[in-house]
Homo-oligomer: A and B are copies of this chain.
Amino acid sequence: MPKRKASGKVTIALDAMGGDHAPEEIVKGAIAAANGTDGVQVLLVGQENVVREELDRQNSTGCVLDIVHADQVIAMDERPVTAVKEKRESSIVVGIELLKRGEVAAFVSAGNTGAVMTAASLMLGRTKGINRPALGAVFPFPTGPLLCLDLGANSDCKPTSLVHFAKMGSIYMEKIFGMESPRIGLLSSGEEDTKGSQMVQKAHRMLRKSKLNFIGNVEGGDIGSGRADVIVTDGFTGNVLLKLGEGLGEMLIGALRRGVAENPKLKEAAELLEPTFQSVISTLDYREYGGALLFGVNGNVVVAHGRSDADAIKNAIKTAKREVLQDIAGAFRG
């Protein structure tokens, strides 16, 4: 195994086999990160011959990219718990193992999200005082950054979990964005305290009693409105919302193109405006620009989008580096 601690550099393990465009785009992203992101050393985890071949095919001259061999691959549609238990030699399990042993400071994967979460929970352990890990992401809205969690780790949540998500979210925005007292909103079906499911109403009462800067319920329309810095919700609602956001973005671009097809006069206008729209739409898809974070496990784990291209991978590595430098996992523990 290659030496992994280059002094002063943050060493990050990257799942070379995970994602719809693995290993090509993953390796390309690793090369870009190694060339572009100062102070990062990337360790590619995957089938050595496959990764080596890909490195050779691409121009990686001068790049310091080490490979850690992992014999197996967990497919995108495998059942997480079974896959993690049975494929101990998979890139996901091997990558999390490296993190557990302290050989790397973070793990990044665009592979099976459930498997990454399962491996991280089982192998790294949960942060003290946190009963369920959550998937969170920061959306860079024009009104300011918004952290949303849970985006899909827990389909059923207890009110306590939502309070834990809020606490972690508050620490995160304080640490990473330097906010003094991040405004925490609870996603509900109305602003009044009495709105929402029984679970949400209970979480509301608990958040009211907490020391957090809880601003009360927020609604679907507040995502992007700038009213809150952190929005907490259960993983079912978070996942549905996230995918709706992505779908709507595609729908709008589709409508734009159809409009142009029907009326060629609009072509020039559309070309002028498309970048503006693409940038707004891409804010809805967190995984495009930096990956989601696994909150509540003992280690820095970044989950990139399954369809990540090289740019997305490069950004996910950047996110991981930031987590490490700010010692987010440590802040949650403390």
Q: Are A241 and B244 in contact (CB under 8 A)?
A: yes
* A197 on interface, CB distance cutoff 8 Å: yes
In the assembled complex, the Cα of A245 lies from the Cα of B181 at a distance in Å of 29
Residues in B whose Cβ lies below 8 Å from that of A239: 189-190, 219-220
Within 8 A of B (CB), among A72-122: 77, 79
Within 8 A of B (CB), among A201-236: 219-225, 233-236
Return the CB mask of A175-202 against B: 1 if under 8 Å, else 0. 0000000000001111010111110100
Residues in B whose Cβ lies below 8 Å from that of A266: 272-273, 276
Known contacts A220-B239, A252-B252, A225 near B244 by CB under 8 Å: no
Known contacts A189-B239, A269-B268, A280-B255, A220 near B198 by CB under 8 Å: no
Q: Are B265 and A280 in contact (CB under 8 A)?
A: no
In the assembled complex, the Cα of A155 lies from the Cα of B199 at a distance in Å of 10
For the complex, count residues of A whose C-beta is within 8 A of B. Answer: 61
Known: A156-B197, A221-B244, A223-B248. 15 other contacts (CB 8 A): A77-B192, A142-B258, A155-B200, A187-B240, A190-B239, A200-B236, A219-B239, A223-B247, A224-B251, A241-B244, A244-B245, A248-B248, A251-B280, A252-B277, A252-B281
Considering the complex of A and B, which 10 residue pairs feature the smallest CB-CB distances, nearest first? A220-B243, A221-B247, A269-B269, A220-B244, A189-B239, A259-B276, A255-B280, A220-B240, A221-B243, A269-B272
Chain A to chain B contacts (Cβ below 8 Å), 25 pairs: A79-B194, A142-B254, A155-B196, A155-B197, A155-B200, A156-B197, A156-B198, A189-B235, A189-B240, A190-B239, A197-B234, A200-B236, A219-B240, A220-B239, A222-B247, A223-B244, A224-B251, A225-B247, A241-B244, A256-B273, A256-B276, A259-B273, A265-B272, A269-B269, A269-B272
